Structure formats: structure tokens, C-alpha cells
């Protein structure tokens, strides 16, 4: 994801031609979709006609430049009425007041983040009584000319770090939690092996299918305990309760 300030002003490079065709002048918001649909181009030879690039034509947004395949991605706004209407509406996010649907003023949007892949606006930085707060745009109801309207619950759903605005964050967090759970389980299994190795079984242990696993008197080795773990928690618990030594 990128802040709007990290995109505005970037040189626009045509990959096939290896030339700069201008720089990003502004990000054009589609208020109905909550996406950046176009990027207008600043070019000293195009002052009379406003030209733009559809966001879907952007190949990449780097630290030093924005890239497109070739100059054919550039369109003339006078030839595309829909684009021209969006530019004329000039719906802004930055420096716009943010209010709940019941009329409570939350603060002012001072910056926003957009997804580099599809142009979706995924979060805003709000100035709330002198403090910066991060708000996911899932709580936005309306992007208006003067005011952004959000749901009442928005004020209780600020996030602590910008990474949590990224839709991929939840997946990454879940994967991390699963990895941690896996690590915890491995630690438990290693501890079971350590505690039970060398112990003598005082009662014959059977599997859930009725198969004899460990006859009474068996001196347990690490492989035996691993086998019990694989049979399931019921078996390893019963084994743990019926050993000595």
C-alpha cells in the first residue's frame, strides 16, 4: 500500500520506450467505488488538454517512479466523458472533515492509503483533536465534496498501525498465529518425550480401534511416545497416567 503523498509527484516512466512522459499531478477518486480510478499527468506540453492514466494500467509504483507499459496507456480526458466527470467532481479525501451519520465530527482526513494493485482506498489518517488516528475505509459510507460520512462505529475502530489497514494483514496474522500454535504443539510433544522416555508401562495401552499398542511392562523409547502422540491425545494421556520409574 502507498500513501497518496508517495504517489503524487512521481515521474511516470514508459517501460517500452524508456522515457519519462510526465509526472503524477493528482489522484482521481471514484467516490462510488472508493477507488483511485485515474492519475492525471503533469506535462508542460499538455497544459491545454488534461491527460491521465487509468490506475489499472499502472505496472508498478516505486520509491522513485511510477511505471506503465507504454505511452498508449495515456488518455485525453476530453475524449472520455466518464473520466472528465470524475475530475470535474474533484472529490478529495485529504483536508476533508469526517463525520458520523448522526452528525458527530470525528476529525479531518489528512492523508490516505491506497492498494497498489487495484487502487482501492484502504485507510485514512485522521487528525482527531490533535492526534493522528488510522481508520480503515470499510467504515466509510460516503465520500462527499465537503464531508466524508462514516458509520457510528468508526470512532471505536481505529487501528494502531498502518499495516492493519492492508487486507492481507489478517491473512498474515492468521498464518503467524497458526505458525505459533504449531511451535507450541511441537514444544509440548518434545516435553512429553522427555518426561516419558525410559518409563515402564504399568497397564497395557490400546488404540481407539482396540489394537494393542504398548503391553504392560514396556520400557518406553522416544519412538513409542511419538507413536502414541500420533494416535491422538486420548492415547498419550492414558499412557502418561500409567507409567512408573
Percentage with pLDDT > 70 across the chain: 90
Q: How far apart are CA 144 and CA 227, in angstroms?
A: 64
Our count of domains for the chain comes to 3
**How many Å apart are CA 30 and CA 225, to the nearest integer?**
61
Within the chain, how many helices (H) and strands (E) appear?
4, 18
Cβ atoms within 10 Å of 179's Cβ, excluding its own: 10
User: Residue 79 has what pLDDT?
Assistant: 76
Confidence of residue 238 (pLDDT cuts 50, 70, 90): confident
pLDDT given at position 178 = 52
Q: Is residue 102 part of a domain?
A: yes
- Residue that is last in its domain, among 74, 89, 104: 89
The reply to whether 192 falls in a domain is yes
**Pair (103, 50) in one structural domain:** no
- Asked if the model's pLDDT at residue 94 lies above 90, the reply is yes
Q: Out of 165, 199, 214, pick the residue that ends a domain.
A: 165
The pLDDT assigned to 113 comes to 94
Let me know the angle formed at the C-alpha of 109 by 106 and 113, rounded to the nearest 5 degrees: 125
pLDDT at position 125 over 70: yes
Question: Do both 18 and 61 map to the same domain?
Answer: yes
Name the domain boundary from 89, 108, 125. 89
d(CA 216, CA 237): 16
- The per-residue pLDDT for 43 is 77
Residue 11 lies in a domain: yes
In a domain? residue 172? no
Q: Is residue 39 part of a domain?
A: yes
Residues 154 and 141: beta-carbon distance below 8 Å: no
Indicate if 61 and 133 belong to the same structural domain.
Answer: no
pLDDT per position as a tens digit, 46-81 = 566 678 999 999 999 998 999 999 999 998 877 777
Q: Are residues 82 and 7 in the same domain?
A: yes
Residue 175 lies in a domain: no
pLDDT at position 82: 74
pLDDT in tens, 176-222: 455 555 556 788 788 888 889 999 999 999 887 778 899 999 999 99
CB atoms near residue 41 (< 10 Å): 19
Asked if pLDDT for residue 174 goes beyond 60, the answer is no
Q: According to the model, what pLDDT value does residue 147 have?
A: 95
Q: State the pLDDT at residue 172.
A: 47
- At residue 181, the pLDDT reads 52
Percent with pLDDT over 90 in the chain: 51
Mark whether 101 and 74 lie in a shared domain. Answer: no
Average pLDDT, integer, range 155-179: 68
What range does the domain containing 69 cover? 2-89
Contacts of 162 (CB under 8 A, 6+ apart): 1, 113, 123, 134
Query: Residue 100 belongs to a domain with what CATH number?
Result: 2.30.30.240
Can you name the residues that pair with 140 across neighbouring β-strands? 150
63 with 46, same domain: the answer is yes
Confidence of residue 104 (pLDDT cuts 50, 70, 90): very high
Q: Which three cell numbers stand for residue 89?
A: 467532481
For residue 174, being part of any structural domain is answered with no
Mean pLDDT of 33-51: 81
Q: What is the DSSP string of 140-191?
A: EEEE-SSEEEE-GGGGG--BSSGGGGSHHHHHHHHHHHHHHHHHHHHHHHHH
71 and 34 in a common domain:
yes
User: What are the CA-CA distances from residue 73 to residues 13, 15, 45, 80, 178 (Å)?
Assistant: 11, 11, 17, 13, 43
Say whether both 21 and 79 belong to one domain: yes
CA distance 68 to 141: 32
Compute the distance between CA of residue 171 and CA of residue 177 in angstroms, rounded to an integer. 10
Span 96-123, mean pLDDT? 93
pTM of the predicted protein model: 0.64
Ordered alpha helix ranges (H), the chain: 81-89, 167-196, 222-231, 233-240
The candidate with the shortest Cα–Cα distance to 115, out of 75, 185, 150, 162, is: 162
Query: 32 and 49, same structural domain?
Result: yes
pLDDT reported for residue 179: 55
Amino acid at each position: 500500500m502507498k500513501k497518496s503523498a508517495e504517489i503524487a509527484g512521481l515521474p511516470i516512466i514508459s517501460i517500452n520506450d524508456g522515457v519519462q512522459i510526465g509526472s503524477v499531478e493528482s489522484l482521481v477518486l471514484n467516490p462510488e467505488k472508493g477507488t483511485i480510478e485515474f492519475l492525471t499527468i503533469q506535462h508542460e506540453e499538455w497544459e491545454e488538454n488534461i491527460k491521465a492514466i487509468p490506475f489499472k494500467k499502472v505496472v508498478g509504483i516505486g520509491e522513485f517512479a511510477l511505471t506503465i507499459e507504454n505511452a498508449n496507456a495515456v488518455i485525453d480526458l476530453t475524449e472520455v466523458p466518464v473520466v472528465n466527470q470524475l475530475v470535474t467532481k474533484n472529490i478529495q479525501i485529504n483536508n476533508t472533515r469526517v463525520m458520523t451519520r448522526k452528525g458527530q465530527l470525528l476529525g479531518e482526513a489528512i492523508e490516505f492509503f491506497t492498494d497498489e494493485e487495484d487502487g482501492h482506498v484502504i485507510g485514512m489518517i485522521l487528525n482527531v483533536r490533535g492526534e493522528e488516528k488510522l481508520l480503515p475505509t470499510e467504515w466509510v459510507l460516503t465520500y462527499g465534496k465537503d464531508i466524508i460520512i462514516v458509520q457510528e462505529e468508526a470512532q471505536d475502530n481505529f487501528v494502531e498501525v498502518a499495516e492493519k489497514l492492508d487486507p492481507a494483514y489478517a491473512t498474515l496474522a492468521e498464518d503467524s498465529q497458526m505458525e505459533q500454535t504449531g511451535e507450541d504443539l511441537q514444544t509440548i510433544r518434545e516435553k512429553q518425550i522427555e518426561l516419558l522416555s525410559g518409563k515402564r508401562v504399568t497397564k497395557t495401552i490400546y488404540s481407539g480401534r482396540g489394537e494393542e499398542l504398548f503391553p504392560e511392562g514396556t520400557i518406553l523409547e522416544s519412538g513409542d511416545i511419538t507413536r502414541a502422540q500420533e494416535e491422538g491425545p486420548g492415547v498419550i494421556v492414558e499412557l502418561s497416567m500409567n507409567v512408573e520409574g
